[in-house]
Structure 1
Amino acid sequence: MELRVLRYFLMAAREENITKAAELLHITQPTLSRQLIHLEEELGTKLFTRSSHRIQLTEDGMLLRHKAQELIQLADKLEKEFQQGQEEISGNIAIGSGETNGVQFLADIIRQFQETYPLVQYDMYTASADDIKEKLDQGLLDIGLLTEPVDISKYNFIRLKEKERWGILVREDDALAEKEVIRPEDLLDVPVFLARRTLVRNELEGWFGDIYDQIRVAGTYNLINNAAVMAEKKVGVVFCFQLQNRFDGLKYIPLYPPVETGAVLVWKKSQIASRAVRQFLRFVKEYRDITPEASM
């Protein structure tokens, strides 16, 4: 199975039309059709259902699309690394991050790193901690910025000094918005949205204590933007960090007793990092002067 053919397959899957896909790939329609048929024969399955004007992925085709996208992304990343100049550090650093104020620190690091290594580029990927860890394990990301609590036993890490404080996001015209802090009893009979990750939910359950069983959990979320809409539409209040970005019509109120969590930069122990990634991690350690808990 060739990467070139997988690129053909992905283009055809995206366009759902052989003729248009062939035009975009700068090959003839018969050539593309033949390559896709050979791919189906090689895999022993049908990847498309075909009609006179349209093609659609089968269930096996959708599975291949997911895997092919990962393979192509990894191949492109590897190619960029080998294209780096030998004399000066260049290339690409793929960084995954959750929605955390630690991104402010990361941006400061990148800005200063740019001054010395202007040829390095950055792919920023925003997702949940579990998604970021999966892509780190697959080699699709070089570094992850994760909020704790999180299992980082498989990774080298640098723990950041800054802490995130938990609170709720609520409409400004809600009765709760008049409070300076939120106590567990304030949320009795109030629908709430919690973070999806189990470790985080366990920590918040501990904050509620004995009254957790009386709390109305309206749902869970993994990224704050969509959850903020739930607060805006009065579906429920949302547990979150105090982020730099503000949402119109919504107010953040901290929890009391306070619940704080840290953040860590992580990377795979077994992965051979590119020169750009290695230099970036050294730069982070020098910038923050964090050495006891970090390993390279």
Structure 2
Amino acid sequence: MELRVLRYFLMVVQEKNISKASERLHVSQPTVSRQIKDLEDELGTTLFERGSRTIQLTSDGEYFANQARQILSLTDKTVANIHQESDIRGAVFIGSAEARSMLTVAQAIRRLNRQYPHIQINVVSTDAAEIHQHLTSGVFDFGVVMEPLDKSDYDFLRLPGESRWGLLVQNSSPLAQQATVSLDDIDHTKLILPQQGGSRRIHAVFGLDQDDLDVAATYNLLYNASLLVSAGVGNALGLDGIVNTNQSDLTFVPLAPRTSSGTSLVWLKGARLSLAAQALLTQIRAELTPTEN
């Protein structure tokens, strides 16, 4: 299986039409069709459901497309990191939770770019499960994850600062006038929870289980959850400082008793970091080291 064929395949996936994909690739349509057919024969499965005007992926095709994207992403990153001159060049990929502690990493990136302008940093907002998956597969170099987290598979740096948990509510809600959110409030409101750890967080604070909660929706990114709150779907459990509520229709109300989460930068134990990734890690460590007056 050649990387060129994977690129042909993903272009067909993108365009949903072999003729349009051929034009984008500057390759004849019969060549692309033959390569896709040979790929299906090699894999022993059908990747596309052919229609009259567009083609759709089969379930096997969906899985293979996701794997092909990861393979090409890893390949492109590897080639970029190998082709270096005296100046460090390359691409670094960071999977990150939504957290204010990301500011420390951002400051390190700014300083790094001054020293090595040809290093490109790619930040992907995602959750802990996908971060672990992509660190293991080599797609991500680093992850920024919320605590608590089992870090037995990782080397890590604890990032400064903590974020407080609370509810994002409409300004018109009675909860918006309260200083904190109580057990009674949680027990009588529709909730929008993070896909990972939301119900565990409520259980840790109030002792309520998933079955005790009125969950209207779940989310991966708090910005999307804030739109659900604005639409009146429910109130979103999340971290302070992620969504700017100034001059908006939303208010953040912290939980009581107080509960906060810290953040860590993680990378896979035993992973061989590229020079670009090593340079970023060095700069982040420098950000965490107090300067002497």
Pairing 1:206-285 to 2, within 5 Å after superposition: 206-209=204-207, 214-247=212-245, 248-285=248-285
Extract unaligned runs of 5+ from structure 2.
Answer: none
**For residue 188 of structure 1, what is the amino acid of its counterpart?**
D
Superposition deviation, residue 219 in structure 1: 3.4
1:111-132: CA deviations, max 9, x gaps?
A: 1222222221111111112112
Superposition deviation, residue 203 in structure 1: 3.1
Partner of 2:102: 103
Q: CA RMSD in A?
A: 2.0
Partner of 1:205: 203
Residue 286 (str. 1) matches residue 286 (str. 2): yes
Extract unaligned runs of 5+ from structure 1.
Answer: 291-296
Partner of 1:293: none
1:159-206: CA deviations, max 9, x gaps?
A: 1121111111000011111111222223331112222214x5323212
Superposition deviation, residue 139 in structure 1: 0.7
Superposition deviation, residue 211 in structure 1: 8.9
- Cα distance between partner residues in 1 of 2:185 and 2:51: 59
The percentage of aligned residue pairs carrying the same residue is 37
Pairing 1:105-144 to 2, within 5 Å after superposition: 105-144=104-143
Partner of 2:182: 183
Partner of 1:74: 74
Aligned to 1:40, the other structure's residue is in SS state: helix
- Cα distance between partner residues in 1 of 2:67 and 2:273: 23
Superposition deviation, residue 244 in structure 1: 4.6
**CA, structure 1 residues 187+210, in 2 after alignment: closer, same or farther (shift >3 Å)?**
closer
Equivalences, count:
288
Is 2:222–2:242's contact at 8 Å kept on the other side of the alignment? Answer: no
- Cα distance between partner residues in 1 of 2:195 and 2:242: 21
Normalising by structure 2, report the TM-score: 0.91
**CA, structure 1 residues 39+184, in 2 after alignment: closer, same or farther (shift >3 Å)?**
same
1:64-99: CA deviations, max 9, x gaps?
A: 2121111111111111111122x2212111111111
- Cα distance between partner residues in 2 of 1:41 and 1:211: 49
| Larger CA deviation: 43-52 vs 254-263 | 43-52
Superposition deviation, residue 100 in structure 1: 0.9
Aligned to 2:228, the other structure's residue is in SS state: helix
**CA, structure 1 residues 213+36, in 2 after alignment: closer, same or farther (shift >3 Å)?**
closer
